[in-house]
Amino acid sequence: MHFKCTAEHLVARCEGGRNIQENIVAACWWCNTRRHRCKHPLSPAAFQVYVTKRLHADRWHGKRSTSADVPN
């Protein structure tokens, strides 16, 4: 369930974000439900940097890929 694809509003609707294409991106359920719960959520650009760094470090959602994760 954590990796189910959802529509993430870059600017939250509660902060005036609109339901327009430029404000919506695909995100997993985990990110979508947690990003805006922070007192000071990261800006869309800062969150993109955060995600990119975590992906490059192979540390996204606490899962580390192994050769067993890659199908033959």
The predicted pLDDT at position 62 comes to 54
Q: Domain for residue 34, yes or no?
A: yes
The predicted pLDDT at position 19 comes to 94
Per-residue pLDDT of the chain (72 residues; tens, 9 = 90+): 567 888 888 888 888 999 999 888 888 887 777 777 778 878 888 888 887 888 788 776 655 544 444 444
Q: Domain for residue 24, yes or no?
A: yes
| C-beta neighbour count of 31 within 10 angstroms | 19
Q: Domain for residue 20, yes or no?
A: yes
| C-beta neighbour count of 35 within 10 angstroms | 19
The predicted pLDDT at position 29 comes to 82
Q: Domain for residue 71, yes or no?
A: no
Q: Domain for residue 19, yes or no?
A: yes
The predicted pLDDT at position 35 comes to 76
Q: Domain for residue 69, yes or no?
A: no
Q: Domain for residue 29, yes or no?
A: yes
Phi, psi of 5 (to 5 degrees): -75, 135
Range of the domain at 25: 5-64
Q: Domain for residue 72, yes or no?
A: no
Number of domains in the chain: 1
